[in-house]
Amino acid sequence: SLRRLHLARKGTMGLTEVAPASLGHVYAMILAGGSGTRFWPLSRRRRPKQLLKLFGSESLLQQAVGRLEGLVPPSRTYVFTSKTIRSEVCHQLSRIPSRQIVAEPASRNTAPAIGLAACEILRHDPEGIMVVLPSDHLVARPSVFRRALQAGCQLASERDCSVVIGIKPTRPETGYGYIRRGKKGRRIAGLEVFPVRQFTEKPDAPVARRYFRSGDYLWNGGMFIWKASLLMANLRQFQPQMARGLEKIARAGGIRSGNVLKEIYPRLKNLSIDYALMEKIPNIFAVAADMGWSDVGSWAAAYEQSPRGKAGNSAPANAILLDSHQNMVVSSRKLVAAVGVENLVIVETEDALLVCSRVRAQDVGKIVKELNRRGLKHLL
């Protein structure tokens, strides 16, 4: 692949062009194990955010897979998820072979899952490049995402480095991790590429403002690219215990190792890839992409990303909204009417109704806590 890439680049393609041949070894790993509560009552334990059709006719998960079309085929796409929702994930992703849709035996955050995927990829392709992607984010400009992914694969292939796709910040957000980039950038596929100086955790508001003003920071959207072999080498160096566990699993058959997986995996350290590796390893590059990204972290964020009418309402076509502005209305079936209301989130499902001030959307999880406390399992 590297050879083919170099040949291609020496041919008609310039440095800013992408060599499609470099994609032959690329594997995608979609992280679809999330189980948030902030989209209640639409999201439930068995129907978390990534499975919801919040925007259009496809779920966020389906959109995440769809964005890979022509870049990574279903035969090289892995989806890691939980037992609870695996069957629905299989249902939504009918083109992906179901053996590649993996239910983690226990939720151990991203590092063990990524390590397990790397082992699996290495079984098939010692030169495999893995693209790690979230399943519950929104990308308004998929063409930019695709160019970023191509640029990242080229970098990971050429330089055997770790790559993060960084998002150009559009506001001093305190809810995301940030990436401090080096000064010098080069361009690949029309996108700027920077050496990474530091991964930082979610900042407080003054720090976020400083990051935003400086122009030296990117948002960390959880999109990573590296060779599976490099990932494992890094794990061996920085998380040796985890690496040993994963290698035991790999020797027993990896994702098909049955009881070995069930025994060892739940005892792996519960660590995010950011904490386990990204904050520690050298040789990381960031591809800066202005892809209209949102992690859609709440109903308020979903509102911001939704098409809205001239009164600023995002609502079903048949809703009747009189003197009502800047509301988000989601209804499964019944007619919704509003009079004189503003900045509300109104979500109606078969068995529950939420009416929430838009600025309080981050507190929807408290409703779920209360349902839990009351033992109303059918609403969780």
Interface contacts to its own copies, rule CB under 8 A: 40-41, 320, 322-323, 331, 334-341, 344, 346, 348-357, 359-361, 363-364, 366-367, 370-371, 376, 379
Which residue's CB is nearer to its own copies, number 16 or number 318?
A: 318
Q: Give the β-pairing of 293-294 and 186-188.
A: unpaired
Which residue's CB is nearer to its own copies, number 39 or number 226?
A: 39
Copy the structure tokens of residue 25: 């070894």
Tell me if 28 sits within 8 A of 72, measured CB to CB. Answer: yes
> Which residues have CB under 8 Å from 317's CB, separation 6+?
none
Distances (CA, A) of 171 to 58, 210, 214: 28, 11, 12
Shortest Å distance, C-beta 200 to its own copies: 31
Copy the structure tokens of residue 185: 């950038």
Shortest Å distance, C-beta 47 to its own copies: 16
DSSP conformational letter for 58? B
Which residue's CB is nearer to its own copies, number 142 or number 316?
A: 316
Torsion of CA 106, 111, 113, 114, to 10 degrees: 180
Which residue's CB is nearer to its own copies, number 2 or number 379?
A: 379
Which residue's CB is nearer to its own copies, number 131 or number 344?
A: 344
The b/e string for 23-48 (b: 16+ C-beta within 10 A; e otherwise) is bebbbbbbbbbbbbbbbbbbbbeebb
Shortest Å distance, C-beta 338 to its own copies: 5
Shortest Å distance, C-beta 315 to its own copies: 11
Shortest Å distance, C-beta 305 to its own copies: 20
Tell me if 242 sits within 8 A of 80, measured CB to CB. Answer: no
Shortest Å distance, C-beta 376 to its own copies: 7
Tell me if 138 sits within 8 A of 235, measured CB to CB. Answer: no
The b/e string for 78-102 (b: 16+ C-beta within 10 A; e otherwise) is bbbbbebbbebbbebbeebeeebbb
Residue type, 103: A
Shortest Å distance, C-beta 371 to its own copies: 7
Which residue's CB is nearer to its own copies, number 46 or number 141?
A: 46
Which residue's CB is nearer to its own copies, number 248 or number 358?
A: 358
Which residue's CB is nearer to its own copies, number 249 or number 330?
A: 330
Q: How far is CA 269 from the centre of its chain?
A: 21
Which residue's CB is nearer to its own copies, number 266 or number 316?
A: 316
Angle, helices 110-124/228-238, rounded to nearest 10 degrees: 130
Shortest Å distance, C-beta 346 to its own copies: 6
Q: What count of other Cβ atoms lies within 10 Å of the Cβ of residue 283? A: 14
Best CA proximity match to 266, nearest among 104, 102, 79, 78: 104
Residue-by-residue DSSP string for 40-66 = TTT-BTTB-GGGS--BTTB-HHHHHHH
Shortest Å distance, C-beta 52 to its own copies: 18
